[in-house]
Structure 1
Amino acid sequence: MRFSKVSPIPRPVVGWLLYDIASSSYIFLIPSVAFAVYYRQVLCGGVAYCDAQWGLLTALALVVAGGLAPLVGAIADLGKVRHPLFVIATLGCCIASAALFWAQPGAVGWGGLAFVVAQVGYSLAMGLYDAYLPSLVPRQRLGQLSGLGWGLGYIGGLACFFIARPWLAGGLEADNLPIYRQTFLLVAVFYGIVALPALAWLPRQGGGHYGLSVSLVRRAYQQVFSTLGGWRDRPDIFQFLLGYYLISDGVFTVGSFTAIYLTTEFGLPMKTILQLTLLFNAIAIPATLTSGWLSRRWSALGLLKSALGIWIVTLLLLVFGTHPSIPLLAACGLGLVLGSTQSLCRGLFAELVPQEQAAELFGFNALVSKVSAMGGPLLFGLISATTGNQRLAMLSVMPFFLVGGWVLLRE
């Protein structure tokens, strides 16, 4: 975003941007690539039903996080305790990510529990983090700041990738597993350290009663149900949430299963998966930054419509393509739209929410994105496990983008 040369970027904005970098190390290496493959192939054993088991595990984490997000957001707004809750959720994710290091082959219970705790902590932290956005810059710059944060966030994933690449490149051979698992410790340390400026500089809310209490939780419950009951008063917000519900379902499913899909359908080794992941990030950074910059000059809804078109083409390539170049083309397509789609949606939603309900409504946004993402992974895992056909499972993701786009973009 553009700031005057004589006016330095405010520290809260710097901290907010750095947090996107910090958290991207987790989302890039734990649920999407390193731990997803490790869970399926090592903890679960690599058999056909492991797709369904991974789908159930990710769905469980999403349901827990999504169910808690609006309540936690309402508590943050009413009790003015957004910042301490943000710190607790961040530390919870870091500690649970580190615990994955001790998940030995076959330890499905331990690995699954640590992953669910880490995923819930991450999800709650991100909902509270996003709620800071409307208070940091003027309304006309929300899309630009969202795109900048999301684009820079890929740097966190790339930094961890370069550090962990020697450990991951050795693959899942038994003698390399202790080295491979060091990646999970790396993510925990990187996330915690780079997030420190955000934990120190993001603004505290004043004028509230700090500390949790039964009455505060009760008031938060009442606030959540009041918001739900008054959906007719804000149809624009609930139309957005319905469309985002479907789109985020597709986005999360593709993110959760692409590495597994390329391994099983195209026979790619871990080394090639990591190379494609590097390419994806190299494209995603400028693409997401550009989408944020363009959102101030063009229609953000128009940009989102173009992104959904690229999603459809990329999915068709994955489902029907058999040429060896398909994984390369898919990595390029996903790099163009995965971050751009989410940053555009975050900026659009930030324009709709009133600041006094930011944490609660971004909690509903988190609820929508997490609970909706339960359907896609479950559907993918069920189809893959029952038919043995992952291409058919990938095809099942298409309607989420088609219907979600229609709902979100219709006048």
Structure 2
Amino acid sequence: MLYDWANSIYVAVVMTTLLPIFFKSVTADYGLSNSVADSYWGYATSAATLLISLFAPLLGALGDYSNMKMKIFKTFFYLGVFATGMLFFSSSWRYIIVFYMISLVGYLGANLFYDALIVDVSSSDRMDKVSTYGYAVGYLGGSLLPLAAVILFLLRGDDFSSDLNPAIKISFLATSAWWFVFTIPMLKNVRQVYSKEKEPHLVRSSFGTLYRTIKNISSYRSVFLFLVAYFFYIDGVNTIIHMAIIYGTTMGISNLTLIGALLVTQVVTIPCTLISGVLAKRFGSDRIILSGIAVYIVVCILAYNLQTDFDFWVITVLVGTSQGGLQALSRSYFGKMIPKESSNEFFGFYDILGKFAAIMGPALYGLFSQITGKSQYGVLSILILFVVGGAVFLYASSYEKRRSRQSV
């Protein structure tokens, strides 16, 4: 849970708020149009997620061997912390893009193994609760530093035009330090419980394991169907996380509203994530996941028609009601379906589908924005991801229920 607290600050500052605002101001100084800047940000996000996605299954298979989860986790964790700190020294939009991409690779790679560790720290009957509590703690941690940044922002006035603005520069260093310090308890105390014995030539053995898993995936039909659904709907969630501030800036939403909306999202998400865990226990996690997808469909429609700051606030609140619950319950829903001794291998596929989809979403947004010259069509293109993902998940959950009844 403390690692959720630690890394959520990266999402809040680098992925979703201060860095996108700062990037747009710098690109404006270089004479880039809003639609072109939006496209570059989308392409950079897609490229970084593509890189980690290509290696996620292999890394997952490798991580299933004894004591490998934490070793690989640490490698990506240190990479992400370093690159985030280097954003402090970036003064051109090109350097910003480079270090953003490196930091995103570190964040995504570390999360692959953090997600997989849920089977090592929780029993199946407690997994929904542990997962939702983790996300709630993460959103709580992710709101504190942005709040401090808002205070600095207000004291200095509504001006992000200078790349020397201390409020922005210091936030990147503070994010790097926060991420590192609050990860220390996990580095010291979390250990891999479920694993396979190491074999000679680990990389070669991991390729063999990966091949066998792909070959036999049809025997886990419920898992396969869920992953297809997850591929689509989590793509929409990740795209909105990555592109919301960029889109809001393009649509003329004030910087104060953009940052304030982030805080509202965090505040709303914390209790709603906890509530989703309670509701999942009573009504079933599949129904709560479907309701979250439905909310995001509404969000896409409202975003297409975005005109005022008030509209942005409404969208923000709706996202807050569903974002954490959808992420947390998807993780625990999947964790309860897979064999624990192969958890990292399966979570490698879980992450590659989620992250590979996140390549498609931002790229789709950037493409439609660049072709039409209007970012509204970029955000509208995300709608189909939720529709397809929701339809497949509805079928997948129905199949799983039928299979469970037959096995009984």
Q: Same fold (TM over 0.5)?
A: yes
**1-side partners of 2:86 and 2:380: how far apart?**
35
2:59 to 54, 64, 72: 72
Tell me by how many angstroms 1:323 deviates.
4.9
Q: 1:356 to 1:331 in 2, by over 3 A?
A: same
2:73 to 74, 80, 86: 86
Match of 1:202 in 2: 190
Tell me by how many angstroms 1:79 deviates.
4.6
Residues 140 and 296, structure 1, Cα contact 8 Å, conserved in 2: no
Q: Following superposition of structure 1 onto structure 2, how do residues 326-365 of structure 1 map, counting pairs within 5 Å?
A: 326-365=311-350
Cα deviation 1:251-287 (Å, max 9, x = unaligned): 111111111222221x222122111111111101100
Tell me by how many angstroms 1:126 deviates.
0.8
Q: Percent identity?
A: 27
> AA paired with 1:325?
F
TM-score by length of 2: 0.91
1:252 to 214, 225, 238: 238
Match of 1:390 in 2: 375
Tell me by how many angstroms 1:161 deviates.
0.9
**2-side partners of 1:330 and 1:130: how far apart?**
28
Alignment pair present for 1:62 and 2:44: no
For structure 2, the 5+ residue unaligned runs are: 399-408
Cα deviation 1:166-214 (Å, max 9, x = unaligned): 344544122753431211111100010011111111114588777xx98
**1-side partners of 2:150 and 2:309: how far apart?**
23
Cα deviation 1:277-326 (Å, max 9, x = unaligned): 11111101100111112222221011111111111112211112435521
> AA paired with 1:188?
S
Corresponding pairs, count: 390
Q: 1:175 to 1:234 in 2, by over 3 A?
A: closer
Alignment pair present for 1:41 and 2:29: no
Q: Aligned-pair RMSD on alpha carbons?
A: 1.9
Residues 56 and 378, structure 1, Cα contact 8 Å, conserved in 2: yes
**2-side partners of 1:51 and 1:130: how far apart?**
30
Tell me by how many angstroms 1:165 deviates.
2.2
Q: 1:85 to 1:323 in 2, by over 3 A?
A: closer
Q: 1:251 to 1:208 in 2, by over 3 A?
A: closer
Alignment pair present for 1:26 and 2:13: no
**2-side partners of 1:67 and 1:214: how far apart?**
24
Residues 57 and 348, structure 2, Cα contact 8 Å, conserved in 1: yes
Cα deviation 1:2-23 (Å, max 9, x = unaligned): xxxxxxxxxxxxxxx1111111
Match of 1:162 in 2: 147
Q: 1:273 to 1:325 in 2, by over 3 A?
A: same
1:139 to 120, 124, 127: 124
Tell me by how many angstroms 1:224 deviates.
1.1
Q: 1:209 to 1:356 in 2, by over 3 A?
A: closer
Residues 253 and 309, structure 2, Cα contact 8 Å, conserved in 1: no
> AA paired with 1:88?
T
Cα deviation 1:193-247 (Å, max 9, x = unaligned): 011111111114588777xx98101111111121111111111111111110001
For structure 1, the 5+ residue unaligned runs are: 1-16
Match of 1:10 in 2: none
Q: 1:301 to 1:209 in 2, by over 3 A?
A: closer
Tell me by how many angstroms 1:99 deviates.
0.8
**1-side partners of 2:163 and 2:239: how far apart?**
31
Alignment pair present for 1:128 and 2:116: no
